[in-house]
Amino acid sequence: MLLSFENVSLTYPPKHNILDDITFSLDEGGFYFLTGTSGAGKSSLLRLIYQAERPTKGRVALFGEPLTNNGHEKQAELRRKIGIVFQDFRLIPHLTAWENAALPLRLTDAGDDYIERHTKELLEWVGIGDRMDAKPEELSGGEQQRVAIARAVVTRPRLILADEPTGNVDEHTALKLFHLFVELNKLGTAVILATHQRHVVDKFHKPALRLAKGKLQKVES
Amino acid sequence: MSLPRHLFTPAFRHQHLGGSFAAIVGIMVFIATFATAAEAILLTASYLWGQTAEDRLTIEIPAVGDEATMSQAERVKQVTSLLRAMPGIENVEALSNKDVERLLSPWFSKPELLRALPLPTLIDVERSSDPNLTAEKIQAALRNVVSDARVNDHGTWVQDAWRLVQGLTVLGGLTIFLTALTLIISVSLICRAVIAAERETISLLHLMGTENIDIANHFQTQATRIASRASIIGFLVALVITSVLFLSTRQLSDLSALGWGHWLGVGIVSLLVPFGATVLAMVTAKISVMRLIRTFP
């Protein structure tokens, strides 16, 4: 089991329900869309998975391990098995594309040669092999998102969480990026991709979790 | 694990935080080195002066005019003979007029003024450590031959001077302690400002699964690099200023009792300051960062 939510609710004081009694489970290695309009609770659901939030009620388990009350070390260990892609890319501005993409690998025991070679190959694979020394401000939105994707997958995580990864790029680039996620999934990495672009989701015929006003409306397959 | 070397560089540059960090470490090292060197010199010198002066007495025989019944030379001869015959007196040496003039010359602007004065004869006496051989006993014995001879016991002023040195030592220690405390507080505040400027980067590192200890270690390495450079500069400036100060006041403070070994000791003790400050800055940086980033998502 990749992920399971059991009666999960997330409430901000005083009584603002962000997620309301969500229950679902996802299998290892799958590709899942998380859809819903803006404010439906997609980002909050992802935040619960990468433990930036804790549920007010219910139980979340990732890779078969419950996420509640994890200490910092356990939390860090689980996060190393996840790659996260954000809508605003979150690249470190003073590092080059290569340095940004290599950052998670530097947190592992990987040797310098492996980091150098693997990151280079990955950046070539996402299509910015010729811009590796550029700083984020010198890259377009699409290029920045490709670096962010490379960074998310550089350690070969078991799961990629993508929160509106195409929100800041044009439709043509968005489609290319979606294809990139599908390719990654084919290599064995599970993907949960949150997006409000329903028309793009329809083109891919992948299972989708649909959220509306904090409630899980439907699990489409 | 090796994060990019320049990961926190922009944060250190942000509002000159790195410069402030270096300046504070440098200034604190300067003050502490100055205080430590001065304290070490004072302690060593006063110990050596004490050792040589404690068992010494100076007998002062006031000058007499030509009309006196006994000449000054005769008075001196009688006193030295008496002293040499006393048990427990190890050495007696009458200072020549030239020696007395040399001792008094710093207080007289014109040498002819000094020559016009009736200078007393001074006799330097070295006694054994016998506690019964007091200045009062010697004074009483001298009264029988030269009634106006005066005995000055160096042990008395050495004890007063030693008390003063001890007071200054405590003051120096307090200065070093307060300097260290100021260093800890300042470094802690600057590190917090640097980390606050890099909040987003640290949150991102957290999301990648970086542990706080690794972030703190990386930050500490960068802080240590700045602190060590600043410490060396602060130390060298203090060394130069201390040397200039002692050289320019060597007429007032006789440090000839200090040999090369003593100066080497002072140097080694002073060298501990930049090392200590760097270690203190290192540890403070790590603890401050660890405490702060624990609260980051």
Number of cross-chain residue pairs from A and B with Cβ atoms under 8 Å apart: 53
Which residues are CB-neighbours of A142 under 8 A, at least 6 positions away?
Answer: A169, A170, A173, A176, A177
- Indicate if B211 and B288 belong to the same structural domain: yes
C-beta atoms of A90 and B210 within 8 A: no
What is the model's pLDDT at position B280?
92
Task: List strands edge to edge, sheet with A65-66.
Answer: A16-26, A3-12, A57-62, A65-66
- Strands A31-35 and A16-26 come out as unpaired
- Indicate if B85 and B192 belong to the same structural domain: no
Nearest to A107 among B1, B201, B212 (CB): B1
Which residues does chain A have within 8 Å of residue B204's beta carbon, measured at their own beta carbons? 90, 92
| Residue A74 forms contact with B (CB below 8 Å) | no
Which residues are CB-neighbours of A127 under 8 A, at least 6 positions away?
Answer: A146
Write out residues in chain B with pLDDT < 70, as ranges.
Answer: 1, 15, 65-68, 249-258
C-beta atoms of A78 and B209 within 8 A: yes
C-beta atoms of B4 and A95 within 8 A: yes
CA contacts within 13 A on the Cβ side of B93: 10
Which residues are CB-neighbours of B12 under 8 A, at least 6 positions away?
Answer: B18, B21, B194, B222, B226
What is the model's pLDDT at position B250?
63
Nearest to B24 by CA among B184, B175, B171: B184
Q: How far is B223 from chain A (nearest CA, A)?
A: 19
Report how far Cα A138 is from the mean position of its chain's Cα atoms: 24
Which of B148, B167, B201 terminates a domain? The answer is B148
C-beta atoms of A72 and B211 within 8 A: yes
Nearest to B4 among A52, A79, A99 (CB): A99
- Indicate if B189 and B44 belong to the same structural domain: yes
Digit-by-digit pLDDT tens for chain A (221 residues) are 889 999 999 998 887 888 989 999 998 889 999 998 888 889 999 999 998 888 999 999 998 888 877 778 888 888 989 999 998 889 999 899 999 999 999 888 888 899 999 999 989 988 888 999 999 999 998 899 889 989 998 888 999 999 988 877 777 778 888 888 888 899 889 999 999 888 778 888 888 899 988 888 867 66
- Indicate if B139 and B203 belong to the same structural domain: no
In a domain, B153, yes or no: no
Which residues does chain A have within 8 Å of residue B297's beta carbon, measured at their own beta carbons? 52
- Indicate if B126 and B206 belong to the same structural domain: no
In a domain, B43, yes or no: yes
Q: Rounded CA gap, B195 and A17, in Å?
A: 33
What is the model's pLDDT at position B256?
66
Nearest to B297 among A52, A82, A107 (CB): A52
| Residue A7 forms contact with B (CB below 8 Å) | no
- Indicate if B130 and B221 belong to the same structural domain: no
Which residues does chain A have within 8 Å of residue B295's beta carbon, measured at their own beta carbons? none
In a domain, B58, yes or no: no
Which residues does chain A have within 8 Å of residue B200's beta carbon, measured at their own beta carbons? 90
Which of B113, B148, B183 terminates a domain? The answer is B148
Tokens of B226: 């700045």
Q: Rounded CA gap, A161 and A87, in Å?
A: 11
In a domain, B109, yes or no: yes
Q: Rounded CA gap, A144 and A169, in Å?
A: 10
Domains: count for chain B = 2
- Nearest-Cα residue of chain A relative to residue B295: A72
Q: How far is A12 from chain B (nearest CA, A)?
A: 16
- Indicate if B276 and B167 belong to the same structural domain: yes
| Residue B207 forms contact with A (CB below 8 Å) | yes
Which residues does chain A have within 8 Å of residue B9's beta carbon, measured at their own beta carbons? 94
Q: Rounded CA gap, A53 and A90, in Å?
A: 19
Nearest to A53 by CA among A88, A22, A91: A22
Interface test with A, best of B207, B218, B295 (most A CBs within 10 A): B207
- Indicate if B142 and B267 belong to the same structural domain: no
Query: What are the counts of helices (DSSP H) followed by strands (DSSP E) for chain A?
Result: 7, 10
What is the total residue count of chain A?
221
Which residues does chain B have within 8 Å of residue A79's beta carbon, measured at their own beta carbons? 206-209
Q: Three-state SS across chain B? A: CCCCCCCCHHHHHHHHHHHHHHHHHHHHHHHHHHHHHHHHHHHHHHHHHHHHHCCEEEEEECCCCCCCCCCHHHHHHHHHHHHHHCCCEEEEEECCHHHHHHHHHHHCCCHHHHHHCCCCEEEEEEECCCCCCCHHHHHHHHHCCCCCCEEEEHHHHHHHHHHHHHHHHHHHHHHHHHHHHHHHHHHHHHHHHHHHHCHHHHHHHHHCCCCHHHHHHHHHHHHHHHHHHHHHHHHHHHHHHHHHHHHHCCCCCCCCCCCHHHHHHHHHHHHHHHHHHHHHHHHHHHHHHHHHHCCCC
- Indicate if B39 and B110 belong to the same structural domain: no
In a domain, B1, yes or no: no
Preceding peptide of A14 cis, ω within 30°: yes
Domain of residue B193: give its range.
9-51+158-293
| Residue B204 forms contact with A (CB below 8 Å) | yes
- Indicate if B208 and B129 belong to the same structural domain: no
Which residues are CB-neighbours of B125 under 8 A, at least 6 positions away?
Answer: B56, B57, B58, B59, B83, B89, B91, B92, B93, B138
- Indicate if B197 and B241 belong to the same structural domain: yes
- Indicate if B287 and B216 belong to the same structural domain: yes
In a domain, B57, yes or no: no
| Residue B210 forms contact with A (CB below 8 Å) | yes
In a domain, B4, yes or no: no
Q: Which helix (H) or strand (E) holds A39?
A: none
C-beta atoms of B7 and A108 within 8 A: no
In a domain, B56, yes or no: no
Task: List strands edge to edge, sheet with A208-212.
Answer: A82-85, A159-163, A190-195, A31-35, A208-212, A215-220
Q: Rounded CA gap, A87 and A42, in Å?
A: 12
Structure letter (DSSP) for residue A53: S
Which positions 126-145 of B are in contact with A (Cβ < 8 Å)?
Answer: none
Q: Which helix (H) or strand (E) holds A138?
A: none
Which of B148, B168, B187 terminates a domain? The answer is B148
Tell me the per-residue pLDDT of B138-194, one tens digit each, with 9 for 90 and over.
888 888 888 888 888 877 777 888 888 888 888 888 999 999 999 899 889 988 888
